[in-house]
Amino acid sequence: MKTLDQAWEALKGLDWGADVAPLAAIDQAIAQAHGNEAATVELEEKLLGMLSTASAAGRDFICRRLVSVGSARSVAALAGMLPAAETSHLARLALESMGSPEAIAALRTAAAAATGLQKIGLLGSLAKLKDAASVAMLAAATKDADAQVSHAAVWCLGQIGGADAVAALTSVAPSDDATKMAVADAMLLCADRFLAEGNNAGARDLYKKFTGEAQPKHVRLAANKGVLSTVRR
């Protein structure tokens, strides 16, 4: 087993395809630090100190370890990585794992300024974290000129759920079948969320909006199944 100092040295020169066995001491140190705040902070600070000068492979390694030891101290450095295509997904991985108010705020700020695929990824992170405070931004994003972004925003509203998300989805005026389908699927997700939370009346009312013959078959079947679920409870 390499010593921890040797592992840090190996991390400095890490490249894609290289043997990661010399880095095992870092993973062992992280495992041993569990429950030891001082040791965890020391490891986090060491990783953060190497982040700005690390290779692409090194950044990947560091961000994946910050999933385990990252805290509010890591947010600023990770937030700085969110706008760049080559590092955005790594920063999101670590920030999602934290799920702290600071981490979510960083994701929200970056999403508001992002475009294209970066914006889609950031909105997805906020949806994964069920960030209700992002609903207004997502509602605006449903009108984005980029169809991929607007459809992603619709999906994210369905993932977050809640009355505000339903209101935002209701305001979407689908101009094509793909958008209409996306809204219907998102609304059904919201209804499912209502049902899981015990709001049978809200779930039933929402399901019923999609039981008509004008709806695609899979939407109609899901909605009718949902209505039955509210009756059985």
| 17: pLDDT strictly greater than 80 | yes
| pLDDT value for 2 | 62
| 1: pLDDT strictly greater than 50 | no
| pLDDT value for 168 | 97
Which 3-state string (H, E, C) describes the chain? CCCHHHHHHHHHCCCCCCCCHHHHHHHHHHHHCCCCHHHHHHHHHHHHHHHCCCCHHHHHHHHHHHHHHCCHHHHHHHHCCCCCHHHHHHHHHHHHHHCCHHHHHHHHHHHHHCCHHHHHHHHHHHHHCCCHHHHHHHHHHCCCCCHHHHHHHHHHHHHHCCHHHHHHHHCCCCCCHHHHHHHHHHHHHHHHHHHHCCCHHHHHHHHHCCCCCCCCHHHHHHHHHHHHHHHHC
Tens of pLDDT, residues 124-173: 999 999 999 999 999 999 999 999 999 999 999 999 999 999 999 999 98
**Average pLDDT of the residues in 209-219:** 91
Split at pLDDT 50, 70, 90, the class of 232 is low
Q: Taking the model in full, what pTM does it have?
A: 0.90
